[in-house]
Structure 1
Amino acid sequence: MTGLDPLIHAPTRLQLVTTLSGVSEAEFATLRTALEVSDSVLSKHVSALVDAGYLHSRKGVHAGRRTTWVGLTPVGRRALHEHVAAVRRLIDAVE
């Protein structure tokens, strides 16, 4: 069905982009805790979504520690909205 995005359909990636949809950006450690995944798992998903242009990431210092901040790009936000609309169409077809 048109609109389903295989790049963000995987559960962890979908949780990641929906979590980021409510904020301008979030700290990597905060996302790791919220999604209950390891650093390596989150890093892999973030990298794939950055490569696709759905996320941006930047390095910085917070409370004296180096950290990575991650946020949705306009392209990523649009992809999420289109994916959600496609899922809603599927749900409506069941009812």
Structure 2
Amino acid sequence: MASVQQDIPQLDRLIHEKLRLGIVSALAAAPTLTFSNLKKLLDTTDGNLSVHARKLEEAGYIVCEKSFEGRVPKSEYKLTADGKKALERYLDHMEALVRAMRGPRV
């Protein structure tokens, strides 16, 4: 059992939370997304999205560029290189768990 645990990468609890995983996954599929796009795509509230996006920003997984279109504020998010690596590690972890749970194939 010890060898199985050594083969499984450490779970990134920051990404594991449902909404944060949704944000990172959406940004992996699109070069940039606005706050409004993410909110609609993830079917969440302004406050919930803000809190989770800020945690990902603080970790360096996403960046937010703020601008104005006319007088309307616009927040645009992008996945960073560290965010891409973190998502890849997370997916590797999930794949390792699936392999461990299924056991050896015959």
TM-score, length-normalised on structure 1? Answer: 0.93
Which whole-Å deviations, capped at 9, do the CAs of 1:35-87 have from their partners, x for residues lacking one? Answer: 01100000000100000000000112347521100110000000000100110
SS at 2:87 equivalent: helix
Q: Corresponding residue for 1:76?
A: 83
Q: Corresponding residue for 1:85?
A: 92
Cα distance in 2, alignment partners of residues 61 and 35 from structure 1: 23
Structure 1 consecutive aligned stretches of length 4 or more whose deviation exceeds 6 Å: none
Q: Is the CA contact 1:32–1:39 (under 8 Å) kept in the aligned structure 2? A: yes
Cα distance in 2, alignment partners of residues 30 and 63 from structure 1: 18
Cα distance in 2, alignment partners of residues 21 and 60 from structure 1: 22
Matched, 1:13 2:20: yes
In the alignment, structure 1 segments of 5+ residues that lack a partner are: none
Q: 1:58 aligns with which of 62, 65, 71?
A: 65
**Structure 1 pair 62/3, CA: closer, same or farther in 2 (3 Å)?**
farther
Larger Rg belongs to? 2
In the alignment, structure 2 segments of 5+ residues that lack a partner are: 1-7
How many residues are treated as equivalent by the alignment?
Answer: 95
Matched, 1:27 2:47: no
Cα distance in 1, alignment partners of residues 69 and 38 from structure 2: 15
Q: 2:9 aligns with which of 2, 13, 17?
A: 2
Q: Corresponding residue for 2:4?
A: none
